[in-house]
A and B are shown apart, each in its own frame.
Chain A
Amino acid sequence: MDIKLLGVTKSYGSNAVLVSTDLIFKAGEVTSLLGPSGSGKTTLLNIIAGLTQPSSGRVFIGDKDVTALPVEERKVGYVFQSHALFPHLNVASNVEFSLRVQGISKQLRRQKAQELLKLVDLTGFEDRPVDTLSGGQRQRVAIARALAAEPSILLLDEPLSALDPELRSRIRMDLKLLLDRLGLPTVLVTHDREDAFALSHRIALLHQGSVIQQGTPEEVYRQPVSEAAARLLGPAITLPHTSGYSFCRPEDLLLAKPGDPVLFEMVVERAIFHGAYWRVSGHAQGQQMQADLVDVSDVSPGKRLPLKLKASQAQSNPSRLAVCTA
């Protein structure tokens, strides 16, 4: 079942948090709402959930207009940033909560909870108090609890932000497998591009209350439609173009050898060794930039490095240097 947002806006007084937004979340796809703090992504998620009423526009679940429907009747599965597990209930009772609300018998509730806990690899955790679980386990309980109500859409608000970096990359893969297995239309709010790349089929970039671009992770990364879109997904280098400008990424640059055409000379300011490459920061042609360089010996500050584009980026795949009109 697809979820559609048509012309959705949200304002608080004269402060427009969300300007006219049209989005479609397709069945079986995970869409990330990626943007900096204050870009309106959580507002958008809450509008889909029914926790916030839009100032104008409509929200459809399938063909049904649910704009005026309260959250209790919307059948959305919402996984909170802090998981919001009920501290007085054990794992199974947390998962069963929505079934208890529906008046389903205890036996059926327990059966369903066991199925869901199996789905999220938490079999045997039924009677555990939730405050004894790890961050990853708590997240999976929150997902199982959201799924118990058989929602038509799954909403995840910054699902990995509460985890430390090491755990985060592991849980990210677990979550990816789980979301693929569920096949529900899923909307994920994040400000972390790695989360968005790893978990999503599509990414919608939000900037100052507007969806400025949407597409597959590779599309939005390689073909940004504006400087704001380019910079939301990491360091971007502006390349002047006859009819506007385009962008490349630090990994698209190479150290030019004698005789090679030089795109620009970067003056090194600092360099950090990352094992497989050096991330060199500096400036050239009036802009700050970064380049991920492999075959470089001297990266001392003040050194001038002649840089060129990788041949593959410059010639074999011209679409990767999409031209943006200013």
Chain B
Amino acid sequence: MSTTTPQSTSQAKRSALSWATSAIEVIVSWGPALLIVAPLFLLTLGAFSETWDSQGPRGFTLNAFSQAWSVSAKSAVFSLWIAATAALISMSLAIPAAYLLNQEGSVIARVLRPLCSLPVVLPSLMLAMGLILALPALQGGWELLLIAFVAQCLPFAIWPIATSLQLLDVGLLETAGRTLGASPTQRFFWLVLPNIIRPAAVGGLTVFVLVLAESSTSFFLASGEYQPFGITLYNAFQDLDIRVAAATTLILIAMLTPAVITLEVWSARSVRRKGGLNSELSTHSGASASAATQSMA
């Protein structure tokens, strides 16, 4: 016969509660990750398989990769080029734009600040159609794609810089520069720019990642000659050869991964190096970048 004391009941309750808490922790932390990892795992298996039918992927071959690369190589190179170009242009525009938007008491800055987020909320279709109507001569060319990408992604380049400008109290740094005799140009290049170069790079890299994975705007503006990778990927899935589509997806992931890792490393390095105020900067920059990549996903 077993006896149950109040103490052992209480211990059993505590143990059950602890077990339940651990289980919830695992579900909450790993559940969302599994939602992304599971399809990727399946696509990886499929990309290396000989056949993939109703019974799932089977066998091992690299054939799907060679087929995928033969149809997507040109598009991959074009996407890398246009993403890098869009990132550079966005960075170049974002630095002065964020600086101007940060000017205290400027009426123009006050009006432009909310407008800055407009390209993010504007549907891709609207932007694409607007550009086609406004610049019909450029339709089918890479120029229109580039303009669309820069317009769409510019806020992601501006936000990390604007955040760091606010956290740094750049107005105070500039006033200090003034008392030391620095001209406006010297203040911008010697005081402001060095303090925002890291968030600017984070913004640029975010634009690069976004453009590389973009497909909505490209869908309306791409041509046979200038086809971003998102469209190639879409076509691969349309062609119903799921092994080739899976391999094409892995090629895109391979292109994105170094950029995403670099983004994470830059953010982490900022935290380690600067600490305090600048850690907040990089956290904000990193948060901005993460938000962008998540919105892309």
Interface residues of A (CB under 8 A from B): 49, 51, 70-73, 76-78, 80, 82, 84, 86-88, 97-98, 100-102, 131, 145-146, 148-149
Chain A: which residue is nearest B276 at the CB level? A131
Chain A: which residue is nearest B184 at the CB level? A72
Chain A residues whose C-beta falls within 8 Å of the C-beta of B59 in the assembled complex: none
Question: Which of B175, B180, B191 neighbours the largest number of chain A CB atoms within 10 Å of its CB?
Answer: B180
Q: A84-B173, A84-B175, A87-B278 given as contacts; is B180 within 8 A of A98 (CB)?
A: yes
Tell me whether B180 and A149 are in contact (CB under 8 A).
Answer: yes
Tell me whether A51 and B180 are in contact (CB under 8 A).
Answer: no
In angstroms, Cα B190 to Cα A66, docked, is 27
Tell me whether B275 and A87 are in contact (CB under 8 A).
Answer: no
Can you list 18 A-B pairs, Cβ within 8 angstroms, ordered by A?
A: A49-B179, A51-B175, A71-B178, A72-B181, A72-B182, A73-B181, A80-B175, A84-B173, A86-B173, A87-B274, A87-B278, A97-B190, A98-B180, A101-B186, A102-B181, A131-B276, A145-B180, A149-B181
Chain B residues whose C-beta falls within 8 Å of the C-beta of A98 in the assembled complex: 180-182
Q: List 20 additional A-B contacts (Cβ < 8 Å) besides A84-B176, A131-B274.
A: A51-B179, A71-B178, A71-B179, A72-B178, A73-B181, A77-B179, A78-B176, A80-B175, A82-B172, A84-B172, A86-B191, A87-B168, A88-B195, A98-B180, A101-B180, A101-B181, A101-B183, A131-B276, A146-B179, A149-B180
In angstroms, Cα B117 to Cα A182, docked, is 52
Tell me whether B179 and A76 are in contact (CB under 8 A).
Answer: yes
B32 an interface residue at 8 Å Cβ cutoff?
no
B23 an interface residue at 8 Å Cβ cutoff?
no
Chain A: which residue is nearest B186 at the CB level? A101
In angstroms, Cα B174 to Cα A97, docked, is 12
- In order of increasing CB-CB distance, the 8 nearest A-B pairs are A84-B176, A78-B179, A98-B180, A88-B194, A101-B181, A101-B182, A71-B178, A72-B181
Chain A: which residue is nearest B195 at the CB level? A88
In angstroms, Cα B179 to Cα A73, docked, is 8
B118 an interface residue at 8 Å Cβ cutoff?
no
Least Cβ–Cβ distance between B5 and chain A, in angstroms:
54
In angstroms, Cα B191 to Cα A148, docked, is 18
In angstroms, Cα B191 to Cα A131, docked, is 16
Interface residues of B (CB under 8 A from A): 168-169, 172-173, 175-183, 186, 190-191, 194-195, 274-278
Tell me whether B180 and A87 are in contact (CB under 8 A).
Answer: no
Tell me whether A97 and B172 are in contact (CB under 8 A).
Answer: no
In angstroms, Cα B179 to Cα A148, docked, is 12
Tell me whether A80 and B181 are in contact (CB under 8 A).
Answer: no
Chain A residues whose C-beta falls within 8 Å of the C-beta of B275 in the assembled complex: 131
In angstroms, Cα B194 to Cα A101, docked, is 16
Q: From A51, A87, A131, A146, give the contact of B178 (CB < 8 A).
A: A51
Least Cβ–Cβ distance between B3 and chain A, in angstroms:
61
Chain A residues whose C-beta falls within 8 Å of the C-beta of B182 in the assembled complex: 72, 97-98, 101
In angstroms, Cα B88 to Cα A161, docked, is 44
Q: A87-B278, A88-B194 given as contacts; is B175 within 8 A of A72 (CB)?
A: no
In angstroms, Cα B277 to Cα A131, docked, is 10
Least Cβ–Cβ distance between B99 and chain A, in angstroms:
16
Question: Which of A76, A101, A148 neighbours the largest number of chain B CB atoms within 10 Å of its CB?
Answer: A101
Chain A residues whose C-beta falls within 8 Å of the C-beta of B177 in the assembled complex: 97
In angstroms, Cα B173 to Cα A80, docked, is 10
In angstroms, Cα B186 to Cα A102, docked, is 11
In angstroms, Cα B179 to Cα A98, docked, is 9
In angstroms, Cα B186 to Cα A307, docked, is 65
Tell me whether A72 and B172 are in contact (CB under 8 A).
Answer: no
Least Cβ–Cβ distance between A244 and chain B, in angstroms:
44
